[in-house]
């Protein structure tokens, strides 16, 4: 994948985009006071300028890679690295928009909060950030990767905090800015109905669909659709399909409240264990509980209807 490469030096970010160079004042902000430290304590301190940070972004803006290397051979190992995500008001990326993250190829330990006693205090300036916690020691450097559920423009003056030794130093890096495009969602029929095998939906079913902690394949999704669209249809399943549609479309964050209601209701319920078969004539239906996960069927139906309204207005072309 063709990438846009951004290199962040101690006092300069050189952003290569459309062959233009954008210089950014990246003066580090040290969050601890070294003047009163003893010689022993000073040996455990670090500075923002002890590290080079190279940032690369995938062409669609969804994958952000931060390559961090030591400027000096004796620079401290990283403890954690924090990136401010609040760079586009209410349209900013959030912790919930992150699909996965890695550190040197291994699953990352991510957190949306920062505890006390670390000398880092991102909460003083932002309430929306992601922390790579417990970064493992490395002699060669660190490659930190974030995968978002959509693409974001490059915000060249994002805030970041780098914890190494006893110090937490603040500086400026490239970070996710405004979304590249508005979110949209395909309808439930696109993913579950008869044509779902041939309309491109299969590409979004690669990892299956997880609702209530249960993962379903596309084949299972199609089977569920035809059971519910038969004689024994239950509008509660409409909530299941509507949540599936926005979740597979990557637009769930736009209807987070209603999505949470439906997900909580179906938590721990494998829908196929609730199927009842009736004879003469033979048909099947989902025998779902009146309430589950703290929500009633009526609340799930209402939440599904709201998600349907969102899809109607924001349907993908």
Domain boundary among 147, 179, 211: 179
Task: Show the beta-strand stretches assigned E in 85-148.
Answer: 98-103, 106-107, 109-111, 129-133, 142-148
Going by C-alpha positions, the residue among 180, 199, 176 that lies closest to residue 189 is 199
Q: Are residues 155 and 69 both part of a single domain? A: yes
pLDDT at 232: 65
β-strand pairing of 167-179 with 152-164: antiparallel
pLDDT at 30: 38
pLDDT tens for each residue of 208-252 = 999 999 999 999 999 999 998 767 678 899 999 999 999 999 889
pLDDT tens for each residue of 74-91 = 999 999 999 999 999 988
Which residues, in sequence order, are CB contacts of 221 under 8 Å at separation 6+?
191, 192, 196, 205, 209, 244
Cα gap 94→213, rounded to integer Å = 22
Q: Are residues 78 and 140 both part of a single domain? A: yes
pLDDT at 109 over 80: yes
Q: Are residues 165 and 234 both part of a single domain? A: no
Q: Are 262 and 239 in contact (CB under 8 A)?
A: yes
Q: Are residues 98 and 193 both part of a single domain? A: no
Q: Are residues 22 and 167 both part of a single domain? A: yes
pLDDT at 281 over 90: no
Q: Are residues 100 and 61 both part of a single domain? A: yes
Q: Are residues 133 and 196 both part of a single domain? A: no
Going by C-alpha positions, the residue among 270, 265, 267, 272 that lies closest to residue 291 is 265
| Whether the model pTM is above 0.75 | no
pLDDT at 219: 95
Q: Are residues 96 and 57 both part of a single domain? A: yes
pLDDT at 91: 86
pLDDT tens for each residue of 253-270 = 889 999 999 999 999 999
Domain boundary among 160, 179, 198: 179
Q: What percent of the chain has pLDDT over 70?
A: 85
Q: Are residues 82 and 152 both part of a single domain? A: yes
Number of domains observed in the structure of the chain = 2
pLDDT at 16 over 70: no
Mean predicted confidence (pLDDT) in 32-48: 56
Cα gap 43→69, rounded to integer Å = 20
- Determine the longest span between alpha carbons in the chain, in angstroms: 87
Q: Are residues 126 and 219 both part of a single domain? A: no
Token pair in block for residue 315: 């349907």
pLDDT at 167: 92
Q: Are residues 36 and 149 both part of a single domain? A: yes
pLDDT at 5 over 60: no
pLDDT interval class at 8 (50, 70, 90): very low
Mean pLDDT of the chain: 86
CATH of the domain at 47: 2.60.40
Range of the domain at 202: 188-313
Backbone angles phi, psi at 61, to 5 degrees: 80, 10
pLDDT at 240: 98
Q: Are residues 175 and 195 both part of a single domain? A: no
Mean predicted confidence (pLDDT) in 102-124: 90
Domain boundary among 179, 206, 221: 179
Residue 42 DSSP class: H
pLDDT at 2 over 60: no
């Amino acid at each position: 994948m063709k990438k846009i490469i951004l290199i962040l030096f101690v006092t300069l970010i050189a952003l290569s985009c459309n062959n233009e160079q954008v210089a950014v004042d990246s003066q580090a902000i040290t969050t601890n006071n070294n003047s009163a430290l003893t010689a022993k304590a000073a040996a455990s301190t670090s500075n923002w300028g002890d590290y080079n940070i190279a940032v690369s972004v995938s062409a669609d803006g969804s994958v952000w890679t931060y390559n961090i290397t030591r400027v000096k051979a004796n620079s401290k190992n990283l403890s954690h690295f924090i990136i401010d995500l609040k760079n586009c008001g209410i349209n900013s990326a959030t912790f919930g928009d992150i699909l996965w993250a890695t550190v040197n190829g291994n699953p990352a330990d991510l957190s949306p909060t920062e505890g006390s006693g670390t000398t880092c205090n991102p909460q003083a300036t932002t309430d929306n950030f992601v922390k790579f916690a417990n970064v493992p020691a490395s002699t060669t450097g660190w490659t930190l990767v974030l995968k978002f559920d959509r693409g974001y423009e490059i915000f060249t003056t994002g805030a970041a905090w780098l914890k190494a030794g006893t110090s937490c130093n603040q500086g400026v890096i490239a970070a996710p800015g405004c979304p590249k495009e508005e979110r949209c969602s395909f309808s439930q029929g696109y993913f579950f109905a008869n044509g779902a095998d041939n309309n491109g939906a299969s590409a979004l079913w690669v990892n299956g669909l997880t609702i209530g902690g249960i993962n379903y394949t596309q084949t299972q999704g199609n089977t569920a659709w035809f059971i519910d669209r038969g004689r024994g249809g239950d509008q509660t399943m409409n909530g299941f399909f509507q949540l599936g549609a926005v979740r597979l479309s990557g637009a769930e964050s736009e209807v987070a409240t209603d999505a949470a209601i439906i997900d909580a209701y179906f938590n721990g319920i494998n829908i196929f264990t609730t199927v009842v078969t009736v004879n003469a004539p033979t048909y099947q239906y989902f025998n779902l509980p009146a309430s589950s996960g703290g929500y009633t069927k009526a609340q799930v139906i209402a939440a599904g209807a709201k998600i349907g309204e969102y899809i109607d207005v924001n349907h993908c072309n």
